[in-house]
């Protein structure tokens, strides 16, 4: 099986799974217990938090563990809106966000918030002038993702967050797809909150981290025993936390090496496609984008058919984001930055450190077998 769906989820790194197994087998105490093993687990959780904060250069911040980035985004929106309630009930958001943001905002719309969507340009980039003109006196929160999960465009978060802060608005960024794929500096980006999902960076599923500036005060989101500074009660997923911290530090340590490897894979894929005779178009911009996400339109073949045919040949690829890959709906992100016909013929190839040049040879061969007969007939 060849796996090119790493923006959806990644293979767990062996050193991460080893730490998790060690933890599961040996350090099973409840971190709230006062005996020696409980204290050890509590101490390890605190060290894991610090490791995460150090890896992203975040100071004066709190880390809260959740089950997923979806949960982080839900909690962050709720608590940032509550904190800045006196500013007003207007939210500004980009029009290329993940559904865990947009669906949450739909809820806030129903309870009286006004939402403005800033349109990304056709490279998937939010221009600062556009953001400026969407912000109002009563804008309490601006939400713009760092790296888009479908086309890989990277936003200039530092500039965008400054515009929000100049207005007294808070700024939240969904950073799920940027950790491990581009330079990441929380302090420099100056956001009020962000999130990390372990399964996107060679960690396990079911564990994620919400980072909030510690000036943000809040009431409980989950009521109970008061864990996690009384925001999210419930016994912490200690082995997951250990795995997440390991995955984050590996992503940071190997950032340059991984980017260089994946960049070569991307160049090789494009070179092979150029030589293949296949008629295609890249939706991913050639600059201001991460190397691991490549959104491609192959003309004359619907993405659902192409994904199916590749699947039958042992290649895992998706038509868009993981949440919509099972559905027949074309990607709203691609429609927003391009058009419906592009969306219907677009697939996303997403690489990881484990992919190889040989796998790309196999992919391009498969694409030639599937696409060339159709394109030759139609053109
Ligand atoms: N945000 C972005 C940009 C994503 O790509 C994803 C997952 O694809 C999520 C949020 C949700 O992450 P999780 O699977 O941890 O809920």
DSSP assignment string, 147-177: B-TTT-BB--HHHHHHHHHHTT-EEEE--TT
- 300: CB partners within 8 A, 6+ apart: 279, 345, 371, 374, 375, 378, 379
Q: Which atom of ligand 1 is nearest to the CA of 205?
A: 15
Residue 78 among the catalytic residues: no
Q: How far is the CA of 70 from the centre of ligand 1 (A)?
A: 6
The per-residue pLDDT for range 37-87, each reduced to its tens digit, is 999 999 999 999 999 999 999 999 999 999 999 999 999 999 999 999 999
Check pocket membership of 149 for ligand 1, CB cut-off 6 A.
Answer: yes
| Euclidean distance between CA atoms 213 and 170, whole angstroms | 11
Whole-model pTM? 0.96
Q: Is the distance from the beta carbon of residue 321 to the nearest atom of ligand 1 less than 6 Å?
A: yes
Each residue of 129-167: pLDDT tens digit?
Answer: 999 999 999 999 999 999 999 999 999 999 999 999 999
pLDDT, residue 379, reads: 73
Protein residue with its CA nearest to atom 7 in ligand 1: 8
What proportion of the chain, given as a percentage, has pLDDT over 70? 98
**What digits encode the pLDDT tens for the residues 15-26?**
999 999 999 999
Q: Which of 196, 197, 198, 243 to mutate to test the pocket of ligand 1 (most atoms within 8 A of CB)?
A: 197
Reduce the secondary structure of 238-292 to three states and give it as a string: HHHHHHHHHHHHHHHHCHHHHHHHHHHHHHHHHHHHHHHCCCEEECCCCCCECCC
Contact predicate 46/245, CB 8 Å: no
Q: What is the pLDDT of residues 73-125, one digit of tens each?
A: 999 999 999 999 999 999 999 999 999 999 999 999 999 999 999 999 999 99
How far is the centre of ligand 1, averaged over its atoms, from the C-alpha of 291 (Å)?
18
Whether the pLDDT of residue 336 is over 60: the answer is yes
Please say if the pLDDT value at position 268 is more than 90.
yes
98 lines ligand 1 (CB under 6 A): yes
């Amino acid at each position: 099986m060849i796996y090119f769906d790493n923006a959806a989820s990644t293979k767990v790194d062996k050193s991460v799974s080893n730490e998790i197994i060690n933890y599961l087998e040996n350090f099973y105490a409840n971190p709230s217990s006062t005996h020696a093993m409980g204290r050890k687990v509590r101490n390890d959780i605190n060290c894991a938090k610090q490791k995460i904060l150090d890896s992203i250069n975040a100071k004066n911040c709190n880390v809260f563990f959740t089950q997923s980035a979806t949960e982080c985004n839900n909690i962050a929106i709720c608590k940032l809106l509550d904190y800045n309630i006196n500013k007003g009930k207007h939210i500004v958001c980009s029009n290329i966000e993940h559904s865990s943001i947009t669906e949450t905002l739909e809820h806030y719309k129903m309870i009286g918030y006004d939402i403005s969507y800033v349109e990304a340009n056709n490279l998937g980039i939010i221009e600062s002038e556009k953001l400026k003109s969407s912000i109002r006196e009563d804008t309490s929160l601006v939400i713009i993702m760092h790296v888009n999960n479908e086309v890989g465009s990277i936003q200039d978060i530092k500039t965008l967050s400054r515009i929000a802060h100049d207005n007294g608005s808070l700024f939240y960024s969904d950073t799920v797809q940027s950790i491990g794929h581009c330079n990441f500096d929380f302090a420099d980006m100056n956001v009020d909150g962000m999130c990390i999902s372990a399964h996107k960076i060679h960690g396990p599923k079911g564990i994620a981290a919400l980072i909030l500036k510690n000036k943000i005060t809040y009431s409980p989101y989950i009521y109970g025993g008061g864990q996690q500074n009384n925001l999210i009660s419930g016994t912490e997923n200690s082995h997951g936390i250990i795995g997440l911290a390991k995955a984050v530090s590996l992503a940071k340590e190997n950032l340059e090496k991984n980017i260089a490897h994946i960049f070569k894979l991307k160049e090789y894929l494009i070179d092979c496609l150029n030589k293949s005779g296949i008629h295609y178009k890249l939706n991913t911009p050639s600059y201001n984008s991460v190397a691991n996400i490549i959104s491609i339109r192959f003309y004359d073949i619907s993405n659902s058919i192409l994904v199916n045919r590749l699947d039958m040949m042992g290649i895992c690829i998706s038509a868009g984001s993981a949440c919509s890959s099972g559905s027949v709906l074309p990607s709203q992100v691609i429609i927003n930055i391009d058009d419906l016909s592009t969306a219907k013929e677009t697939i996303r190839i997403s690489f990881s450190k484990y992919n190889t040049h040989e796998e790309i040879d196999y992919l391009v061969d498969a694409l030639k077998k599937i696409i060339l007969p159709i394109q030759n007939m139609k053109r």
